[in-house]
Amino acid sequence: MNKTIRRAAVFCLLMVLALLVRATWVQGYEAKALADDEHNRRNTIAQYAQPLGDIIVAGSPVTGSKGTSGGDLRYKRTYTQGELYAAVTGYSSQAYGATQLEGIYSDVLDGTDDRLKNPADLITGRQASPGNVLTTIDPGVQKAAYEALGDDKGAAVAIDPKTGRILGMVSTPSYDPSKISGTDNGDAWKKLLDDKEKPLVNRALRQPLAPGSTFKLVVAAAALENGLYGSVDEATESPDPYTLPGTRTVLRNENA
């Protein structure tokens, strides 16, 4: 064997070894990352291959699933009183992903969460049946908050002070998640994105706002608790305007 052929053979052998190493790396170390990649359409196909579990409010589902005709996504999400509960459920869309409870608990709702599997499922790799997500939302509180906001832009959250349970959570303007749950809802999606009132923004959770005068309750409670004042009727030493400590910034009471 002459030198040229020997070099070519060694080069080919090295290329084969490199290919084997790369294939082993992909199969052994990158397999899960590739399988879980958001652009892997197989995940979406598997997710919508069966009806999803439901989000439950006061014992009744506010979500559902219905079969589709054609395509490789067999089911799509439906919502009961979608606008009323959108701030709680979020949306689960075949085209645009999932948000809120739909996104946070997607592995429970589609049955891929290991907590839903029995020992046999863990060994065989069989997917468990979809699970439901139970909420602490009170339908009466939710409806009252939604109707109180009406056409105004804002948010309302009702919390049980003893347990921390969320009894109601509303963001307005709202939207109907059913209108964007399929693959053919491009116009509805664009309309929501272009809406200057931003209905897709959950103002109860994702809209940073200064607390304003509502924080005065916290300050007053701290002052009373620490004995700085004897009662809520006692006059306070609150200069107007007030110069912030260590600065030359003057803070005026705009409501005075």
Residue with tokens 């491009």: 186
> Which amino acid is present at 101?
L
Q: What is the CA radius of gyration of the chain?
A: 28
Q: What is the pairing mode between strands 60-61 and 166-172?
A: unpaired
- CA-CA distance, 121 to 114, in Å (whole number)? 9
pLDDT in tens, 153-206: 999 999 998 999 999 999 999 999 999 998 888 899 999 999 999 999 999 998
Cα distance between the two ends of the chain: 100
- CA-CA distance, 156 to 170, in Å (whole number)? 5
Domain ranges across the chain:
41-194, 212-251
Of 60-64, 210-214, 220-224, the poorest mean pLDDT is in 210-214
Sign of CA dihedral 47, 49, 50, 51: positive
Angle CA 196–197–200, to nearest 5: 105
Q: How confident is the model at residue 49 (pLDDT cuts 50, 70, 90)?
A: confident
Tokens of 221: 């409670």
- CA-CA distance, 194 to 201, in Å (whole number)? 12
Share of the chain above pLDDT 70, in %: 95
By the 8 A CB rule, do 5 and 13 touch?
Answer: no
CA dist list (Å): 234 to 24, 215, 220 = 76, 19, 11
pLDDT in tens, 15-37: 888 888 888 777 777 767 766 67
Sign of CA dihedral 207, 212, 213, 216: positive
Which among 60, 69, 213, 231 is annotated as catalytic? 213
Which of 129-141 are b and which e, b meaning 16 or more Cβ less than 10 Å from the residue's Cβ? ebbebebebbbeb
- Does the annotation count 92 as an active-site position? no
- CA-CA distance, 25 to 19, in Å (whole number)? 10
Q: What is the pLDDT of residue 256?
A: 47
**To which CATH superfamily is domain 41-194 assigned?**
Penicillin-binding protein 2a (Domain 2) (3.90.1310.10)
Q: What is the pLDDT of residue 35?
A: 66
